[in-house]
Amino acid sequence: MDVSDAVQHRRALRTFDPRPVEEEKVRAMIEAMRLAPSCNNNQPWRLVVCSGSVLSKVKECLNRGNVWATAAPLIMVLAAKPSDDCRLNEGRDYYLFGCGMAVGQMLLQATELGLTAHPIAGYDPVMARVVLGIPNDYVVIAFIICGYPGEDDSLLSDRQKVQQLLRPERRPIGHDFFLDAWGRPIS
Protein backbone atom coordinates (compact mmCIF):
# COMPACT_ATOMS: atom_id res chain seq x y z
CA MET A 1 0.00 0.00 0.00
CA ASP A 2 1.39 3.42 -0.80
CA VAL A 3 0.94 6.38 1.52
CA SER A 4 -2.03 7.82 -0.37
CA ASP A 5 -3.87 4.48 -0.01
CA ALA A 6 -3.19 4.41 3.73
CA VAL A 7 -4.39 8.01 4.06
CA GLN A 8 -7.61 7.19 2.20
CA HIS A 9 -8.28 3.97 4.13
CA ARG A 10 -7.40 5.15 7.65
CA ARG A 11 -10.45 5.24 9.92
CA ALA A 12 -11.02 5.64 13.64
CA LEU A 13 -13.24 2.59 13.92
CA ARG A 14 -14.68 1.47 17.25
CA THR A 15 -15.23 -2.27 16.84
CA PHE A 16 -12.41 -4.71 17.45
CA ASP A 17 -11.74 -8.37 16.91
CA PRO A 18 -10.43 -9.88 20.16
CA ARG A 19 -7.42 -11.60 18.55
CA PRO A 20 -4.08 -10.22 19.71
CA VAL A 21 -1.92 -8.02 17.52
CA GLU A 22 1.25 -9.86 16.53
CA GLU A 23 4.52 -8.63 18.04
CA GLU A 24 6.02 -7.87 14.62
CA LYS A 25 3.09 -5.56 13.81
CA VAL A 26 3.45 -3.78 17.15
CA ARG A 27 7.16 -3.34 16.40
CA ALA A 28 6.38 -1.98 12.92
CA MET A 29 4.06 0.64 14.46
CA ILE A 30 6.73 1.54 17.02
CA GLU A 31 9.31 1.88 14.24
CA ALA A 32 6.99 4.24 12.34
CA MET A 33 6.81 6.43 15.45
CA ARG A 34 10.54 6.14 16.14
CA LEU A 35 11.37 7.48 12.67
CA ALA A 36 8.96 10.44 12.89
CA PRO A 37 10.37 13.96 12.61
CA SER A 38 10.75 16.13 15.71
CA CYS A 39 12.30 19.46 16.61
CA ASN A 40 16.09 18.99 16.68
CA ASN A 41 15.41 15.22 16.61
CA ASN A 42 14.44 15.39 20.31
CA GLN A 43 11.90 12.57 19.95
CA PRO A 44 9.81 13.64 22.97
CA TRP A 45 7.27 10.81 22.78
CA ARG A 46 7.18 7.97 25.27
CA LEU A 47 4.82 5.07 24.61
CA VAL A 48 3.61 2.37 26.97
CA VAL A 49 2.31 -0.62 25.00
CA CYS A 50 -0.35 -2.40 27.05
CA SER A 51 -1.41 -5.87 25.96
CA GLY A 52 -0.57 -8.05 28.94
CA SER A 53 -1.74 -8.17 32.52
CA VAL A 54 -1.89 -4.36 32.90
CA LEU A 55 -4.38 -4.00 30.01
CA SER A 56 -7.44 -4.56 32.23
CA LYS A 57 -6.24 -1.84 34.62
CA VAL A 58 -5.66 0.57 31.72
CA LYS A 59 -9.18 -0.14 30.48
CA GLU A 60 -10.50 0.95 33.89
CA CYS A 61 -9.09 4.43 33.10
CA LEU A 62 -11.49 4.85 30.14
CA ASN A 63 -14.39 7.29 30.32
CA ARG A 64 -17.89 5.84 30.07
CA GLY A 65 -18.30 7.02 26.46
CA ASN A 66 -15.30 4.93 25.43
CA VAL A 67 -16.57 1.58 26.72
CA TRP A 68 -16.18 0.31 23.13
CA ALA A 69 -12.40 0.44 23.68
CA THR A 70 -12.61 -2.35 26.26
CA ALA A 71 -12.93 -4.83 23.37
CA ALA A 72 -9.48 -3.91 21.99
CA PRO A 73 -6.59 -6.29 22.60
CA LEU A 74 -4.02 -3.47 22.69
CA ILE A 75 -3.91 0.04 24.11
CA MET A 76 -0.90 2.29 23.68
CA VAL A 77 -0.50 5.19 26.10
CA LEU A 78 1.37 8.24 24.81
CA ALA A 79 3.10 10.60 27.22
CA ALA A 80 5.71 13.33 26.88
CA LYS A 81 7.51 15.91 28.98
CA PRO A 82 7.32 19.49 27.64
CA SER A 83 10.97 20.17 28.54
CA ASP A 84 12.12 17.22 26.38
CA ASP A 85 11.47 19.21 23.21
CA CYS A 86 11.87 22.70 21.79
CA ARG A 87 10.25 25.46 23.84
CA LEU A 88 10.06 28.67 21.83
CA ASN A 89 8.43 32.09 22.16
CA GLU A 90 4.68 32.59 21.75
CA GLY A 91 3.94 29.37 23.66
CA ARG A 92 5.35 27.14 20.93
CA ASP A 93 6.04 24.02 22.95
CA TYR A 94 6.83 21.56 20.19
CA TYR A 95 6.41 18.34 22.18
CA LEU A 96 2.72 18.07 21.28
CA PHE A 97 3.45 18.72 17.60
CA GLY A 98 6.19 16.11 17.53
CA CYS A 99 4.01 13.57 19.32
CA GLY A 100 1.20 14.26 16.87
CA MET A 101 3.47 13.62 13.90
CA ALA A 102 4.72 10.38 15.46
CA VAL A 103 1.18 9.16 16.08
CA GLY A 104 0.16 10.19 12.56
CA GLN A 105 2.90 8.03 11.07
CA MET A 106 1.93 5.17 13.36
CA LEU A 107 -1.72 5.43 12.31
CA LEU A 108 -0.75 5.08 8.66
CA GLN A 109 1.49 2.10 9.46
CA ALA A 110 -1.34 0.46 11.41
CA THR A 111 -3.69 0.99 8.47
CA GLU A 112 -1.20 -0.59 6.08
CA LEU A 113 -0.98 -3.60 8.43
CA GLY A 114 -4.76 -4.08 8.41
CA LEU A 115 -5.23 -2.67 11.91
CA THR A 116 -7.34 0.07 13.39
CA ALA A 117 -5.50 2.53 15.62
CA HIS A 118 -7.88 5.05 17.21
CA PRO A 119 -6.42 7.84 19.38
CA ILE A 120 -8.71 9.08 22.15
CA ALA A 121 -8.70 11.71 24.89
CA GLY A 122 -11.52 10.16 26.95
CA TYR A 123 -9.69 8.63 29.91
CA ASP A 124 -8.55 9.55 33.41
CA PRO A 125 -4.93 10.73 32.99
CA VAL A 126 -4.22 10.73 36.73
CA MET A 127 -5.36 7.13 37.05
CA ALA A 128 -3.34 6.16 33.94
CA ARG A 129 -0.26 7.80 35.42
CA VAL A 130 -0.64 5.73 38.61
CA VAL A 131 -1.46 2.44 36.85
CA LEU A 132 1.52 2.72 34.49
CA GLY A 133 4.01 4.47 36.76
CA ILE A 134 4.32 7.50 34.49
CA PRO A 135 6.34 10.25 36.21
CA ASN A 136 4.47 13.39 37.29
CA ASP A 137 6.46 15.68 34.96
CA TYR A 138 5.06 13.86 31.90
CA VAL A 139 1.75 14.75 30.26
CA VAL A 140 -0.43 11.75 29.41
CA ILE A 141 -1.45 12.92 25.93
CA ALA A 142 -3.51 10.12 24.39
CA PHE A 143 -4.60 6.52 24.52
CA ILE A 144 -4.36 4.79 21.15
CA ILE A 145 -6.84 1.94 20.97
CA CYS A 146 -5.55 -0.70 18.59
CA GLY A 147 -6.49 -4.02 17.06
CA TYR A 148 -8.00 -5.75 14.09
CA PRO A 149 -11.35 -4.38 12.93
CA GLY A 150 -14.25 -6.36 14.35
CA GLU A 151 -17.96 -6.86 13.72
CA ASP A 152 -19.51 -6.81 17.20
CA ASP A 153 -21.00 -3.35 17.76
CA SER A 154 -22.80 -4.21 21.00
CA LEU A 155 -20.56 -1.84 23.00
CA LEU A 156 -21.39 1.13 20.76
CA SER A 157 -24.04 3.76 21.37
CA ASP A 158 -26.60 4.30 18.61
CA ARG A 159 -24.70 7.43 17.56
CA GLN A 160 -21.41 5.51 17.41
CA LYS A 161 -23.02 2.76 15.32
CA VAL A 162 -24.00 5.38 12.73
CA GLN A 163 -20.50 6.91 12.84
CA GLN A 164 -18.99 3.48 12.06
CA LEU A 165 -20.77 3.31 8.70
CA LEU A 166 -19.23 6.25 6.85
CA ARG A 167 -16.14 8.40 7.05
CA PRO A 168 -17.11 11.68 8.72
CA GLU A 169 -17.53 14.49 6.23
CA ARG A 170 -14.60 16.87 6.01
CA ARG A 171 -14.87 20.62 5.60
CA PRO A 172 -14.08 21.98 2.12
CA ILE A 173 -10.45 22.92 1.44
CA GLY A 174 -11.25 26.64 1.29
CA HIS A 175 -12.48 26.58 4.91
CA ASP A 176 -9.13 25.65 6.50
CA PHE A 177 -6.46 26.20 3.85
CA PHE A 178 -5.47 29.67 2.70
CA LEU A 179 -3.35 31.05 -0.13
CA ASP A 180 -0.93 33.90 0.60
CA ALA A 181 -3.00 35.39 3.47
CA TRP A 182 -5.26 34.27 6.31
CA GLY A 183 -8.82 33.97 5.10
CA ARG A 184 -8.04 33.86 1.38
CA PRO A 185 -9.25 30.35 0.57
CA ILE A 186 -7.46 28.01 -1.74
CA SER A 187 -9.97 27.12 -4.44
pLDDT digit string, tens, across residues 47-66 = 999 998 999 999 999 999 99
Cα radius of gyration (the chain):
18
Domain boundaries, the chain: 3-153
Q: Is 11 exposed, middle or buried (0-12, 13-18, 19+ CB in 10 A)?
A: middle
pLDDT confidence band for 15 (50 / 70 / 90): confident
The model's pTM is 0.89
Q: Are 108 and 7 in contact (CB under 8 A)?
A: yes
Predicted confidence (pLDDT) at residue 35 exceeds the cutoff of 60? yes
pLDDT confidence band for 19 (50 / 70 / 90): very high
CATH topology of domain 3-153: NADH Oxidase (3.40.109)
Helix (H) or strand (E) holding 9, with range, is helix 3-9
